[in-house]
Amino acid sequence: MSRTVCSVVGARPNFMKIALLHRELRRRGLEHRLVHTGQHYDDHMSRVFFEQLRLPRPDHNLGVGSGTHAEVTGKTMMAFERICLRERPDLVVVVGDVNSTLAAALAARKLDIPVAHVEAGLRSFDEGMPEEHNRRLTDCLSNLLFATEPSAMRNLEREGMDMRRAHLVGDAMLETLLASLDRLEDRAPWQDYGLEKKEYVLCTMHRPQNVDAPDALEELFGLLQQMPWPVLFPMHPRTRASVERAGLGERLQTLTGVRCVAPVSYLDFLCLMRECRMLFSDSGSVQSEAALFNVPCLSCRENTERPVYTEQGTTELVGRDADKVRCAVEAVRQGRFKTSTPMIRTLGQDVSARIAGQVHDFLC
């Protein structure tokens, strides 16, 4: 009898993490259904990613949209419960740490449907991060725990998880990047913005602690203004809304050398990252991609749930500390910034095959 696996994706990093797993599950004879929560509904944040990652059109789109944490979680639970009652999947796969990750896991387990969590065990140990709550609670609910790095396995063991459920599989983001490298060769998106290779900073910011408060935005603008290279800033819709709400739209336009643009496609973003002088970002997932490209990554955070990329990769935690940023930028300028170790590449090898194999064994 054919078994059905239902994967839930909501934010754009989820799309990259599920792309190759979709094919691996199908290859093992499992029926795979894809549910898009609609949390990222902008074409730049959603549709184009499905096209470039060669993912099929989702079987279901919940149309949840944006809202408060409670609104998104509640609407996702109610909508996904209806899908589960109709489809009766044998397993639900959730990815990452967004609100829809926890919502889908909770809805499934309430219906006695097993759950697998991709990127289990990651911890920032920052209780002020909503993502930290989502990670911990999703791991507690999950029947299968797929960890990206050794620290994640240690976290799960320390928290008393049944380690027979936990498997170190590697980083799906890196696997998708490696599979996409041959499609980057004929792209030069930096030219569209009048930039030169290795002579610009690529910036992404979206976390509440950096973009929700006007004072934090002003600090961020000050740091961008100090960069010795032009700054390309593909702006997340949430960040743009925060800027407008704070009445800082005109202030942003006055920043010398800072160019704000709409979110870019997956392949273009990889090209921009590979050829930039450095990254300035509060994203967790770009830490892995920057490490593979051996590009300096200044993380505008005080902590990270992915310590392997600070220990073995190119990420340095600088927060919004002007002195730390200044020192790190100077190290980049002088070519003294740390480089990635060979271990990084191994984290992106055969990830989806390992996950699909464990899922197949669990179900069959």
The residues assigned a catalytic role are 206
Q: Per residue in 217-246, is it b (16+ CB within 10 Å) or e — as a string?
A: bebbbebbeebebbbbbbbbbbbbebbeeb
DSSP code, position 189: G
**Contacts of residue 46, Cβ cutoff 8 Å, sequence gap at least 6:** 12, 15, 36, 40
Q: Which residue carries 């990769």 as its tokens?
A: 313
Beta bridge partners of 5: 32, 91
Helix, strand or coil, per DSSP, at residue 44: coil
**Contacts of residue 351, Cβ cutoff 8 Å, sequence gap at least 6:** 20, 169, 170, 171, 172, 174, 175
Contact between 15 and 55 (Cβ < 8 Å): yes
Query: Could you please report the per-residue DSSP string of 276-326?
Result: SSEEEE--SHHHHHHHHHT--EEESSS--S-THHHHTSSEEE-TT-HHHHH
DSSP code, position 221: H
* Identity of residue 125: F
Helix, strand or coil, per DSSP, at residue 61: strand
- Nearest residue to 137 (alpha-carbon basis) of 71, 77, 66, 209: 77
Token pair of 176, please?
Answer: 């998708």
Contact between 231 and 257 (Cβ < 8 Å): yes
Contact between 183 and 363 (Cβ < 8 Å): no
**Contacts of residue 188, Cβ cutoff 8 Å, sequence gap at least 6:** 271
